[in-house]
Structure 1
C-alpha cells in the first residue's frame, strides 16, 4: 500500500470529519479509505483516530502526525506544481492590488520587465490603499505595506520600508531644526490620514506631540501630496523613503532626528494559497524577490538620482 496514498486518505478524513465524506472527496469507497487509515496506524504502531458511529476524533498521536503529514503533502503538491510550471510556463491574467503611491512611483518598470520575461501573462493592476479581500475580490496577489498581522494568507517579504521624519531646508531655517522629540510640539505637521489597519502606515506619535496645537497642520490620504507640500515648506512629514527618498537625495528635504527613526515596516506580496500555486503567481513573486535591491534603491540618499533596476 502506497504510504503517500494512506497519508492523503488520513488527512482527508481529518479535514472532512468522516470516512464517508472523505471517500466522496477521494472518489473511492469508505471501506478502502478505512483500510488505508488502518494500515497507516499499523505501520506507525499508534492509533491516530478514535472512531464512533457518527464522527471521528484525533488522538494525541493523530494531532501530531496530522500536522507533519499535511506539511509533507503540501510539499509534494508544491514540487509537482513547480515541475508542471516548467512544462507549461506562466500564462493568463494576473490580478494585482497595490498601494497607490508605491505603484505609481515604483511598480510600472517591474511589471514591464516581468512581462518581457513572461509575454503570455496579462496584468490587471488595481490601485487602492484600503485592505482588499483577495479571495472575495478575485485578486491573485496583493502588495501590502506595514507590520502584517497573522492571518490565513501567505505573505512574502519583498523589501523593507523605512519611515523617516523630514522637512524642507527653508522650513527648518525658519522654524528651527529639532534636536529632541520634546522640541517637536512647536512645529507644523503634514499627517497621513490612513492608520495601520487601512493602509499599513502606523500612527506615529511624533506627529501628535504632547502640548501641540494643530494650527496650520494638514491631513491627507496621499503620501505624494504630503511630500510635495513638505518640499514647499508647509511643515514636517513622516513618510516612507520610497516616497520621500528622491527629494532627500536631491536636497529638497532634510531628515530630522534620524536617531529616533521607527522600526522598518515591510513591503509584502500576499496571496491566498501556497498549495497548487498558479505558475503566473509563482513567477511574479519570484521575479519581485530582490528586484528593488538590498537596500532598496530608494534608500540611496547619497545619490543624485535613484536609478531603476536594469
Structure 2
C-alpha cells in the first residue's frame, strides 16, 4: 500500500467533500480513489469516513488522523520543495558582512571568482568591525572573528586568522631591543582599539603562554591605519598576516619575536537557523568553507 498516496486521497476527500471530487482533483478514477481509502482504513484498523448517498462525515478517529495526515503531507511538500531548490541555479542578491581587514584583504580578492562561477548572483558586501545584528539588519551571512557568544546563529568554522608582530626598520634602529614579549612594555605599541588587543598581547612560546600589557600613543579600530603608522615608523604592530604580508615581503616591515606565536583568532561564517538553505546561500557557504577552512593563512 502506498501510504502517502492513500493519505493524500483521504485528505483531499475531506477537503473537497467527496471521494469522486478528490479523485477528479488527483486525476484518478473514482474506483481507484475508493480502493485507496479503504486500504488506508484497513491498514489503520479504524473507519475514517462515514458515507451515505447524500454526504460524508469524519469519524472521531478520522478527525484526529486528518489533522496529522495534513501536517505530514505539508512537511513532505516542503521537503520536496527544498530538494528542488538545491538542484536549482543559485540566483539573487546576497548581503554579506565581514570585519574590515579580513573582508578587504582575504574575502574581497576571492569574490570575483565566486561571481564568475555564479553569474546570476549579486553581492552586497558591508565591511565593519562593529558586531552587526544578522537578522535585524537583513544579512544572509556574517563573518565574525573571536570567540562566539551564544547567539542562536548557526556557524561554519573557518581557519583561524594568524597574527603577526612587526615593525618598520626605521623604528627598530632607534628602539630598544625586542627579544621576548616582556620587552614590549618598553616599546611604543600601535593599539587596535576594537578588541582585547587594546590592552594586552598574548604569545605562545618555549615556556608556554605569556601575556603582557601594552600601551602606545596611537590607537584606532582600523587595521589599515595601524599598518600605515607602522610603515611610517611609529611603533610595533600586531595584526593579521593578510594585512601585513606584502609589507613584510617588500621589507617595509620586519617580523619580530619569531620564537613566540600570537594565538590565532577564531573565524566563523554565521547564518540564521530559520533561514531557508536556498541555492544562493548554500553556494556561498560552500565557497567560504572551500576558500577559508584550510590551514591557518
- Would the TM-score normalized by the shorter structure come out above 0.5? yes
Larger radius of gyration: 2
2:118 aligned partner:
118
Matching of residue 204 in structure 1 with residue 200 in structure 2: yes
Q: C-alpha distance in 2, partners of 1:268/1:133?
A: 15
Contact 2:141 2:271 (C-alpha < 8 Å) held by counterparts: yes
Alpha-carbon deviations, 1:251-276, whole Å to 9, x = none? 22222223332321233211012773
Offset at residue 203 of structure 1 (A): 5.2
Report the TM-score, using the length of structure 1 for normalisation.
0.63
Paired residues in the alignment total 227
Alpha-carbon contact 2:92-2:280 (below 8 Å) kept:
yes
Task: Say what the alpha-carbon RMSD is for the aligned residues.
Answer: 3.3
Per-residue Cα deviation, 1:2-34 (whole angstroms, up to 9, x for no partner): 7xx9xxxxxxxxxxxxxxxxxxxxxxx972389
| Aligned pairs for 1:126-141 within 5 A | 126-141=126-141
CA drift at 1:86: 4.5
2:64 equivalent in structure 1? 31
What corresponds to 1:107 in structure 2? 107
- Residues 227 and 205 (structure 1), Cα distance of their counterparts in 2 relative to 1, 3 Å cut: same
Q: State whether structure 2 residue 85 is matched by structure 1 residue 85.
A: yes
Structure 1 gaps, min length 5: 6-28, 37-73, 300-310
Q: How does 1:270-309 map to 2 (within 5 A)?
A: 270-273=270-273, 276-291=276-291, 294-295=294-295, 299=297
- Please state how far the C-alpha of 1:227 moved relative to its aligned partner: 1.0
Could you list the runs of 5+ residues in structure 2 that have no partner in the other structure? 8-61, 70-74, 204-210
TM-score, length-normalised on structure 2?
0.66
1:42-95 per-position Cα deviation (integer Å, ceiling 9, x unaligned)? xxxxxxxxxxxxxxxxxxxxxxxxxxxxxxxx9x99985774234321111111
1:112-134 Cα deviation digits (max 9, x unpaired): 21111111111111121111111
Structure 1 residues 183-208: Cα deviation after superposition (integer angstroms, max 9, x where no partner): 22211011001126xxxx68534699
Q: How does 1:114-263 map to 2 (within 5 A)?
A: 114-195=114-195, 204-205=200-201, 209=212, 214=215, 217-263=217-263
Between the aligned partners of 1:237 and 1:81, the Cα distance in structure 2 is: 51
